[in-house]
Amino acid sequence: MERRLFLKTTALAAATAVIAQRLAANEGGAAPAGVPAGAPAPSRPEAGPDGIRWDKAPCRFCGTGCTVRVGVKDGRVVAIQGDQLADVNKGLLCMKGYHVGGILYGRDRLTTPQLRRNGKLEDISWEEAIDVIARRIMRNPAGFGFYGSGQWTIPEGYAAQKLMKAGLSNNHIEPNARLCMASAVTGYLSVYGVDEPAGCYEDLDAADVIILWGNNPAEMHPVLFSRIVDRRTRGQKVTIIDLGTRRTRSTEYADHYIEFRPQSDLAIANGIAHLLLAKGTWDRDFVAKHCNFRKDTAPVSLNGQAMTFDEYKAALAEYTPEKVSAISGVSVEKLHLLAELFGRRDLRITSLWCMGMNQHTRGTAINRLVHGVHLLSGHWGRPGDAPTSLTGQPSACGTAREVGTMCHFLPGGRLVAKPEHRRDCEQLWNLPEGRINPKPGHHTVELWTRFCTPTGKGGDIDTILVQVTNPGQTMPNLGKTFNAKKGLEDKFLIVSDVYPSATTALADLVLPAALWVEKNGVYGNSERRTQQWFKQVQPPGQARNDVWMTLAIARRLYELGHPGMKDRDGRFLFSFNDAHGHEVPVWDWEHFEDINTDRALFEEYRRFTFMKHKNVAPYDELARVRGLRWPVVEQADGSFRETPFRFMEFSDPYVRKGAGIQFYHSVTNDDRALIWFNPYEAAPEEPDTEYPFWLCTGRVIEHWHTGTMTMRVPQLRNSMPNAYVELHPEDAAAAGIRPGDTVVVETRRGKLELPVWIDGRGRPPRGSLFVPFFDQNFLVNQLTLEAHCPISKQPDYKKCAARISRRGAVAQTRTEART
């Protein structure tokens, strides 16, 4: 068949299949269902009559975890299709997703290792590059930091984790996920004693009310949002409440837009709890069976201290609707509306949040409070009743959280600070006792601050290896936490990436990396779903897998005599055998693919997942399906059963029979979750007469994070070619600013010239500015504040004080801004 005709036929079939699925769902009166997650995927695909071979892969971008079908011909990705066998996206993709294949083919792909000599990057061999890194680590193993991301595949993150904690006895490993979901982690840990959402995407199909807490899923998680909007199209009633500090595309679909003053979400959550108690509409039975109460200690800590119900009620007494309204700007009527919804047991309510709650100096506290409102009102434990955080990266859950690539974690939810946890991991890794360092490493802001501080002045980190992330664009207050590296001769920055970036601009050694389907991989999405894919095309030039780089560095350290590269029996830490029992030198690129190294690492890692009931499925099972949600438990017949809803007896096999709901990792060891009281506190930097605006930063639908990949896709780049500043039209008029003008946005940390966009994508309220961070030419993080949550250590990118002026004009004062 002529190729284009075939493609058209395929395209039409894809669209009609989606419609047929919906029509069938309408007839059955049920939500559209994809093929069950356990349904088999085709075995490794063959090319069709047009020469295109289709295979599955999770999308490379956000944490939704859509499965795409990747069409490959003549060694290149030539087409992308939403996978109708995938329960997550049921054949749909967002605009980034359907262009995901294009990220492989930017002309400036990095293809050769490069070492900076006399200020210039010069090509070197891989052998030299690996040797340079290993010798740099040998100089000062304790001064080495490894900085990765929630885009690390699970095997990549696991290998990095093992190199650092099992090999170098060094806990200075962090993922950029510290910047995006650390507060969600500490929220889950302090409420349930274990991380990650209990619910799943089916909650979106069952909820009567969806509350967006500072969240804009229409742009950030569009496939999930379309799942909600689609229900309306099918005649179902679903109420969307947008609780936000800026009107967004999500607002357009909301039944109620409730705008609040930045930082005051804590007061709102406390106000809802206050009203539930005052009206007597809280769920006494649920609380009596399943909850304890908790408050902060001084100084604050993850698990706080117990409080009684009466103390909890007394603490909330001051959060009257009138007081909360004065703090937040939300009307008393709207506060009553929220409390009345939570007070109704006939409704099912799902709360969604992402960066708005997590990037917050009170991030842990607001996470706890939203969980608390659900627990107090009994909106917990039924499909559609769920407090659920969404993640921004494809494996923030799978790699950063589950593998535990943070400075205080070990795999399997273990902690470096606990002797019994270190012992468990030392046994699984076959290490000599005492190998794992008991002291947590530096968290992200601290790691980079110390790297950017002269060694003689406390800058104890002298070398950092960066993989799959771009801290030169994403760190808050870049002048202090990244750019200050300039001129520090004894600091050495190694960056593995696919394109030149703000980070490679300061790198001393650049490593070209394989990307997405140029390598095998496993990700874990926002709903605990582990997703596997196979390599489908070759990486360009000398680009190589990040996991190979880690193994090669470890091997070179072994050759140079680092004692930590051997286990208790003297074997190399990353020793893998083939089917005949012979060791395969996977550190040698020529032999890296002699076995499936990803599979070997994943199966080794999998043993840790049983430690805290986060059992992931075997690699071969994951290769067969479109992902499975943990805990995945093997059945008597040898099949594997996933767990959509955790802690709920109807779904979770670890819940005791007859318990109904059991929080089996309870902080208080009594199977109960914790309802916290945390007070509202003002933001550390608020608008004043000198800097009269709030500055909020964020994302746009066209670009993924720093734009390193999506700015190389012409369609996405043309749709949103550059960053901008949004402000309210009245603020613009007061300052004589017109759309398209260039203005100077300034904070106490720096200034930036930006074009103005008024009433474009979003609309901030008066006194607020919004700037997206995707554009390397407008590094808004030169302006942001590195202040962070004292528990999660996650910085607040959503609030700092700023001022604006027309280019060449005097900065605008509060009086001018308000008139």
Partner 1 sequence: MQDPAAAACTRISSLVLTLTEEPALRALTLKELARIPGLELEERGGPWVAAVLDSADPEAVIDGFGRLPGIRFVEVIFVEVTEPRLLETPNH
Direct distance between the N- and C-terminal alpha carbons of the chain, in angstroms, rounded to an integer: 68
Q: Which of 479, 471, 477 lies closest to 504 in space, CA to CA? A: 471
- Is 236 a binder of partner 1 (CB under 8 A)? no
Instruction: Tell me which of 392, 564, 698, 707 is the catalytic residue.
Output: 392
- Is 538 a binder of partner 1 (CB under 8 A)? no
User: Rounded to whole angstroms, how far apart are CA atoms 503 and 804?
Assistant: 28
Sign of the four-CA dihedral 420, 648, 352, 679: negative
Q: How far is the CB of 227 from partner 1 (least distance, A)?
A: 11
Q: What angle do CA 539, 505, 442 make, to 5 degrees?
A: 95
Cβ neighbours of residue 576 closer than 8 Å, sequence gap 6 or more: 583, 584, 586, 595, 597, 600
Q: Hey, what are 800's tokens?
A: 């700092």
Q: Hey, what are 809's tokens?
A: 């004009």
Q: Looking at 33, 35, 78, 347, which residue binds partner 1 (CB under 8 A)?
A: 78
Indicate the DSSP class of residue 347.
S
Closer to partner 1 by Cβ: residue 133 or 716 = 716
Closer to partner 1 by Cβ: residue 20 or 47 = 20
- Is 65 a binder of partner 1 (CB under 8 A)? no
Residues 794-813 that bind partner 1 (CB under 8 A): none
Cβ neighbours of residue 47 closer than 8 Å, sequence gap 6 or more: 53, 73
Residue 420 and residue 155 in contact, taking contact as beta carbons nearer than 8 Å: no
Longest CA–CA span in the chain (Å) reads 79
Alpha helix (H) residue ranges in 404-443:
419-428
User: Rounded to whole angstroms, how far apart are CA atoms 647 and 317?
Assistant: 31
Residue 732 and residue 769 in contact, taking contact as beta carbons nearer than 8 Å: no
- Is 4 a binder of partner 1 (CB under 8 A)? yes
For residue 181, indicate whether it is catalytic.
yes
Q: How far is the CB of 256 from partner 1 (least distance, A)?
A: 20
- Is 120 a binder of partner 1 (CB under 8 A)? no
Q: Looking at 256, 345, 717, 748, which residue binds partner 1 (CB under 8 A)?
A: 717
Q: How far is the CB of 505 from partner 1 (least distance, A)?
A: 8
Q: Looking at 77, 86, 617, 700, which residue binds partner 1 (CB under 8 A)?
A: 77
Closer to partner 1 by Cβ: residue 76 or 766 = 76
For residue 392, indicate whether it is catalytic.
yes
- Is 279 a binder of partner 1 (CB under 8 A)? no
User: Rounded to whole angstroms, how far apart are CA atoms 98 and 693?
Assistant: 37
Closer to partner 1 by Cβ: residue 79 or 210 = 79
Question: What 3 state SS string does 742-782 have?
Answer: EEEEEECCEEEEEEEECCCCCECCCCEEEEECCCCCCCHHH
- Is 610 a binder of partner 1 (CB under 8 A)? no
- Is 14 a binder of partner 1 (CB under 8 A)? yes
Q: Looking at 31, 35, 95, 206, which residue binds partner 1 (CB under 8 A)?
A: 95
Torsions phi, psi of 73, nearest 5?
A: -140, 135
User: Rounded to whole angstroms, how far apart are CA atoms 494 and 584?
Assistant: 27
Q: How far is the CB of 539 from partner 1 (least distance, A)?
A: 15
Residues 334-393 that bind partner 1 (CB under 8 A): none
Q: How far is the CB of 771 from partner 1 (least distance, A)?
A: 17
Closer to partner 1 by Cβ: residue 711 or 737 = 711
Cα pseudo-dihedral 612, 613, 619, 624, rounded to 10: -160
Closer to partner 1 by Cβ: residue 15 or 47 = 15
Q: Looking at 34, 45, 65, 101, which residue binds partner 1 (CB under 8 A)?
A: 101
214 CA to centre of own chain: 16
Residues 471-500 that bind partner 1 (CB under 8 A): 499-500
Q: How far is the CB of 701 from partner 1 (least distance, A)?
A: 12
User: Rounded to whole angstroms, how far apart are CA atoms 504 and 802?
Assistant: 29
Query: Percent helix, strand, coil in the chain (nearest 5)?
Result: 35, 20, 45
Residues 196-235 that bind partner 1 (CB under 8 A): 226, 229-230, 233
- Is 302 a binder of partner 1 (CB under 8 A)? no
Burial class (CB in 10 A: 0-12, 13-18, 19+), 122: exposed
Indicate the DSSP class of residue 538.
P
User: Rounded to whole angstroms, how far apart are CA atoms 122 and 666?
Assistant: 54
Window of 80-88, 351-359, 562-570, 789-797 that interacts with partner 1 by CB under 8 A? 80-88
Distances (CA, A) of 256 to 210, 379, 496: 11, 20, 45
- Is 701 a binder of partner 1 (CB under 8 A)? no
Q: Of all helices (H) and strands (E), which one includes residue 57? A: strand 53-58
- Is 54 a binder of partner 1 (CB under 8 A)? no
Beta partners for residue 347, in sequence order: none
- Is 285 a binder of partner 1 (CB under 8 A)? no
- Is 721 a binder of partner 1 (CB under 8 A)? yes
Q: Looking at 37, 41, 85, 92, which residue binds partner 1 (CB under 8 A)?
A: 92
Pair type for strands 349-353 and 386-389: parallel
Instruction: Tell me which of 56, 90, 96, 162 is the catalytic residue.
Output: 96
Window of 73-81, 460-468, 668-676, 785-793 that interacts with partner 1 by CB under 8 A? 73-81
Q: Looking at 59, 85, 104, 478, which residue binds partner 1 (CB under 8 A)?
A: 104
- Is 43 a binder of partner 1 (CB under 8 A)? no
Instruction: Tell me which of 59, 62, 180, 789 is the catalytic residue.
Output: 180
Q: Of all helices (H) and strands (E), which one includes residue 311? A: helix 309-316
Q: Of all helices (H) and strands (E), which one includes residue 174? A: strand 173-175
Q: Looking at 10, 140, 320, 813, which residue binds partner 1 (CB under 8 A)?
A: 10
For residue 306, the tally of other CB atoms under 10 A from its CB is 13
Q: Looking at 56, 60, 99, 629, which residue binds partner 1 (CB under 8 A)?
A: 99
Q: Hey, what are 450's tokens?
A: 């110390």
Q: Which of 106, 87, 99, 110 lies closest to 59 in space, CA to CA? A: 99
- Is 539 a binder of partner 1 (CB under 8 A)? no
Q: Looking at 32, 34, 58, 102, which residue binds partner 1 (CB under 8 A)?
A: 102
Q: Looking at 2, 19, 636, 808, which residue binds partner 1 (CB under 8 A)?
A: 19
Please report, as a single letter, which amino acid is at residue 596.
Answer: N
Q: How far is the CB of 593 from partner 1 (least distance, A)?
A: 25
Window of 243-251, 414-422, 534-542, 705-713 that interacts with partner 1 by CB under 8 A? 705-713
For residue 662, indicate whether it is catalytic.
no
Q: Hey, what are 284's tokens?
A: 């006494």
Instruction: Tell me which of 84, 393, 473, 536 is the catalytic residue.
Output: 393
Q: Hey, what are 536's tokens?
A: 């489908």
For residue 485, indicate whether it is catalytic.
no
Q: How far is the CB of 782 from partner 1 (least distance, A)?
A: 16
Q: Looking at 112, 303, 437, 719, which residue binds partner 1 (CB under 8 A)?
A: 719
User: Rounded to whole angstroms, how far apart are CA atoms 117 and 660?
Assistant: 65
- Is 30 a binder of partner 1 (CB under 8 A)? no
- Is 20 a binder of partner 1 (CB under 8 A)? yes
Q: Which of 64, 68, 95, 52 lies closest to 217 in space, CA to CA? A: 64
Instruction: Tell me which of 59, 66, 94, 181 is the catalytic residue.
Output: 181
Window of 1-9, 400-408, 486-494, 746-754 that interacts with partner 1 by CB under 8 A? 1-9
Number of residues that bind partner 1 (CB under 8 A): 55
502 CA to centre of own chain: 21
Instruction: Tell me which of 164, 355, 720, 789 is the catalytic residue.
Output: 355
User: Rounded to whole angstroms, how far apart are CA atoms 617 and 627?
Assistant: 9
- Is 517 a binder of partner 1 (CB under 8 A)? no
Closer to partner 1 by Cβ: residue 99 or 728 = 99
Which spans of this chain sit near partner 1 (rule: CB under 8 A)? 4, 7-8, 10-12, 14-16, 18-20, 22-23, 26, 76-82, 91-95, 98-99, 101-102, 104-108, 226, 229-230, 233, 499-500, 505, 707, 711-715, 717-719, 721, 776-777
The residues that are catalytic are: 96, 180-181, 355, 392-393
